[in-house]
């Protein structure tokens, strides 16, 4: 979130506070006063000509937010320079305008937070709210802010009660407005039994950490009668607020002085006391800086140093835990500078927002997958219904075929009975009408033809029966094809469920790999610290070896001097004695006197 977006959020509250009728428009006189005050708190040179020209009274009616934005962008926001004004004064101006209309604390003085704490909570709300208007804070960010305040007081937030409270809000609302949030805090529902002073200290600590980018806050281990907090993990130390007393060694006099240090992402400042009235100096942090742990010496323990490109600053903490907190916090600030990030909490807020977006995307994908599975199930049920209809039609066809076959069989039986009756009548007629045989031969011939026709008809009936049998076989083939289609559909459904299980296993595997990578990073950090300790030991051994080399060189030079001296003495003693020398005895005495000495030095000369 850039500076322009931060300023626009506060200005939006001021604009809506001036909109008394809630019509989305503000009178020009009020906007003129607001613009003049914005010029003042933002330390922008006043432009009265442009102000009067834009808000001249030749046209009637108030101005909407869309009508005010061009002037706000061109003459105010485009001229704002970061660091040229005090952000807190700007926020106080906008808070004063909006709180007068919208903030309604308890008139009996029973509010949980003071007016100043409400202002700081308002600033924290603006920082954590979504970048769309009207400004709201999603439930995840509400829980995050309340947890940080409770953590600062060493108390635990009741998440179930918070969920119940948030579930009572209107369904169409995406989050809490700032006034709903302040009413929730003032209700005392989540901060029961805690003094207002302790709440103010916690709000101030979170305000310094999130808004003022102070990276660590020193607090007492006993708050509200609770037990001391356990040692924080490195992940929590790196994002906690950093300020407190440390001993610092001077550069010139090399004496130790106690200073109040305050760490921000880009600078480590130190003051005479925690009131921060007299600043003694600052240490600019960049990606080239580093932090090292030093061994105890000069009566100081828990020492560490901050190395910059121009100087090394030595400091001493009260205990090992405090030294660990400071070193990890300073390393976090250096890492932010190396990554080009100005604010830790802005980066954390963006990460939380990205995580929420990814969670929503996964939820939408899961709902889409569920909808697709539901559609497949409906399609399967529809096909099963069609299959049942086909089976019912098949059963009806079988019933019709059976009825037709029975009808044909009855006709055939009736025809056979008729033929038998006719044959019996013919036999009777032949017996009784022997005399009329000749006359009836023609009739008999016709009867035989009729029998042949009946036999042909019987063959045709048999062929019809065979065709029916073939139709039944075709029907069985159709049933088999339908059963095969059902089996294929069940196989596809099993494959779909298998793909879903593989997707869940892949997600679990990714989470495990993430944990493994995190463990490897911690192991590498430990290896780096051990390597630094080994490097320090190598440096000490190197200094000791250099001293031994210098001592050996001194001994070598002394031995060389002695050798030269004794060479001169030997040359004198070995000088030949000439004839007629008057000091023969003396020389002989001298030679004899030095002979033992020469024997003693003979071994070194060799």
pLDDT tens-place string over residues 562-576: 888 888 887 877 766
* Domain end position, chosen among 318, 341, 364: 341
Instruction: Look at residue 132 and tell me if it is in a domain.
Output: no
* Lowest pLDDT segment from 133-137, 241-245, 294-298: 241-245
Residue of higher predicted confidence among 528 and 594: 528
Angle between helix axes 139-152 and 159-167 (nearest 10 degrees) is 150
Q: Which of 63-67, 82-86, 168-172, 528-532 has maximum average pLDDT?
A: 528-532
pTM equals 0.51
- Give the pLDDT mean for 136-165: 83
Any idea which of 336-340, 503-507, 555-559 has the lowest mean pLDDT?
336-340
Q: What is the DSSP letter of 185?
A: H
pLDDT at 399 > cutoff 90: yes
Residues constituting the chain: 606
Which residues 6+ apart lie within 8 Å of 159 measured at CB?
Answer: 143
Calculate mean pLDDT across residues 272-285: 86
Question: Would you call the peptide bond into 426 cis, given omega within 30 degrees of 0 as the criterion?
Answer: no
Would the pLDDT of 376 be above 80? Answer: yes
pLDDT confidence of 236, banded at 50, 70, 90? Answer: very low
pLDDT classification of 170: cutoffs 50, 70, 90: low
Provide the pLDDT for residue 304: 92
Q: Which two tokens stand for residue 346?
A: 């802005």
Measured distance CA(149)–CA(89) in Å, rounded: 23
Least confident of 17-31, 113-127, 532-546, 590-604: 590-604
pLDDT at 240: 39
Q: Has residue 7 got a pLDDT over 90?
A: no
Residue 5 is assigned to a structural domain of this protein = yes
What pLDDT does 239 receive?
37
Residue 165 tokens read as 């409270």
Question: pLDDT grade, residue 231 (50/70/90)?
Answer: very low
For residue 141, how many other CB atoms are within 10 A of its CB? 23
| Percentage with pLDDT > 70 across the chain | 85
Residue 250 forms part of a structural domain:
yes
If you average pLDDT over each of 105-109, 338-342, 375-379, 424-428, which comes out highest? 375-379
Which secondary-structure segment (H or E) carries 221? Answer: none
> Which run of H or E residues covers position 451?
helix 437-573
| Least confident interval from 262-266, 320-324, 598-602 | 598-602
3-state SS track over 501-538: HHHHHHHHHHHHHHHHHHHHHHHHHHHHHHHHHHHHHH
Quote the pLDDT of residue 344.
Answer: 67
Provide the residue range defining the domain that includes 459: 449-488
At 393, the pLDDT band (50, 70, 90 cuts) reads very high
Give the span between the Cα atoms of 466 and 49, in whole angstroms.
109
Is residue 165 assigned to a domain? no
- Token digits for 168? 């009572």
Total domain count for the chain? 3
pLDDT tens by residue, 138-152? 888 888 888 888 888
Q: What pLDDT does 578 receive?
A: 59
pLDDT value at residue 62? 61
542 or 168, which is more confident? 542
> The domain spanning residue 254 has which CATH number?
2.30.29.30
What is the dihedral angle through the alpha carbons of 167, 172, 175, 178, rounded to the nearest 10 degrees? Answer: -110
* Residue 248 host element (H or E): strand 243-249
pLDDT digit string (tens) for 46-105?
877 777 777 765 555 566 777 788 888 888 888 888 878 888 888 899 999 888 888 887
* pLDDT higher than threshold 80 for residue 577: no
Is 364 within the bounds of a domain? no
Structure tokens at 218: 């020193």
* Res 396: pLDDT: 92
Residue 47 covered by a domain: yes
List the beta bridge partners of residue 312. 307
Question: Stretch 536-544: mean pLDDT, rounded?
Answer: 88
The widest CA-to-CA distance across the chain, in whole angstroms, is: 212
What pLDDT is recorded for position 575? 66
Examine the pLDDT at 220 and tell me if it is beyond 50: no
pLDDT number for residue 215: 64
Average pLDDT value for the chain: 80
How many other CB atoms are found less than 10 A from the CB of residue 68? 21
| More confident position, 293 or 189 | 293
3-state class of 300 per DSSP? strand
Residue 582 pLDDT greater than 60, yes or no:
no
Nearest Cα residue to 301 out of 256, 268, 238: 256
Residue 79 in domain? yes
Q: Which of 51, 81, 102 is the last residue of a domain?
A: 102
Question: DSSP state, 581?
Answer: -
497-513 core/surface letters (b: 16 or more CB in 10 A; e: else) = eeeeeeeeeeeeeeeee
Domain end position, chosen among 323, 341, 359: 341
Residue 389 pLDDT grade (very low, low, confident, very high; cuts 50, 70, 90): very high
221 confidence band (pLDDT: 50, 70, 90)? very low
Stretch (H or E) spanning 423: helix 344-432
Distances (CA, A) of 133 to 8, 165, 502, 585: 10, 23, 42, 124
Does residue 287 form part of some domain? Answer: yes
Read off the tokens for 599.
């024997």
């Amino acid at each position: 979130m850039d500076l322009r977006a931060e300023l626009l959020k506060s200005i939006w509250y001021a604009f809506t506070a001036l909109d008394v009728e809630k019509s989305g428009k503000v009178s020009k006189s009020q906007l003129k006063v607001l613009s003049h005050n914005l010029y003042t708190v933002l330390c922008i040179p006043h432009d009265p000509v442009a102000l009067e020209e834009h808000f001249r009274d030749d046209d009637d009616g108030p101005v909407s937010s869309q009508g005010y934005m061009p002037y706000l962008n061109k003459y105010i926001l485009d001229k704002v320079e970061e660091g040229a004004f005090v952000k807190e004064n700007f926020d106080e101006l906008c808070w004063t305008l909006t709180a007068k209309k919208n903030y309604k604390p308890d008139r009996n003085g029973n509010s949980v937070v003071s007016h100043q704490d409400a202002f700081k909570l308002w600033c924290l709300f603006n920082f954590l709210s979504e970048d769309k208007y009207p400004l709201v804070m999603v439930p995840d960010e509400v829980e995050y802010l309340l947890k940080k305040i409770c953590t600062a007081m060493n108390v635990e937030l009741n998440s179930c009660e918070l969920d119940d409270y948030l579930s009572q809000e209107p369904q169409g609302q995406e989050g809490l407005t700032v006034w709903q949030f302040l009413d929730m805090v003032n209700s005392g529902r989540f901060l029961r039994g805690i003094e207002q002073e302790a709440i103010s200290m916690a709000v101030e600590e979170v305000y310094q950490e999130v808004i003022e980018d102070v990276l660590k806050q020193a607090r007492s281990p006993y708050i509200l009668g609770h037990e001391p907090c356990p040692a924080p993990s490195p992940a929590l130390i790196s994002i906690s607020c950093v300020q407190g007393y440390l001993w610092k060694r001077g550069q010139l006099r090399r004496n130790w002085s106690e200073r109040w240090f305050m760490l921000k992402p880009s600078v480590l400042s130190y003051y005479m006391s925690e009131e921060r009235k007299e600043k003694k100096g600052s240490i600019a942090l960049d990606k080239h800086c580093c932090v090292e742990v030093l061994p105890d010496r000069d009566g100081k323990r828990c020492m560490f140093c901050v190395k910059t490109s121009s100087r090394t600053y030595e400091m001493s903490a009260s205990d090992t835990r405090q030294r660990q907190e400071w070193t990890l916090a300073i390393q976090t600030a250096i890492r932010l500078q190396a990554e080009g990030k100005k604010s830790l909490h802005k980066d954390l807020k963006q990460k939380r927002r990205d995580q929420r977006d990814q969670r929503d995307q996964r939820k939408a994908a899961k709902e889409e997958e569920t909808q697709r599975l539901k559609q497949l199930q409906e399609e399967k049920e529809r096909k099963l219904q069609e299959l049942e209809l086909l089976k019912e039609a098949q059963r009806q066809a079988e019933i019709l075929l059976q009825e037709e076959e029975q009808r044909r069989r009855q006709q055939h039986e009736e025809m056979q009975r008729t033929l038998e009756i006719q044959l019996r009548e013919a036999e009777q007629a032949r017996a009784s009408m022997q005399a009329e045989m000749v006359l009836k031969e023609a009739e008999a011939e016709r009867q035989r033809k009729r029998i042949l026709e009946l036999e042909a008809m019987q063959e045709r009936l048999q062929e019809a029966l065979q065709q029916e049998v073939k139709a039944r076989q075709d029907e069985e083939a159709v049933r088999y094809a339908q059963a095969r289609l059902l089996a294929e559909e069940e196989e596809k459904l099993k494959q779909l469920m298998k793909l879903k299980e593989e997707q869940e296993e892949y997600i679990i595997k990714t989470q495990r790999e993430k944990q493994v990578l995190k463990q490897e990073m911690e192991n590498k950090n430990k290896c780096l610290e051990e390597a630094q300790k080994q490097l320090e030991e190598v440096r000490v051994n190197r200094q000791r070896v250099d001293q031994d080399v210098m001592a050996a060189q001194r001994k070598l030079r002394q031995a060389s001097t002695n050798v030269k001296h004794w060479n001169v003495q030997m040359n004198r003693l070995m000088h030949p004695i000439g004839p007629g020398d008057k000091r023969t005895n003396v020389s002989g005495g001298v030679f004899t006197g030095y002979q033992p000495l020469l024997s003693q030095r003979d071994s070194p000369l060799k």
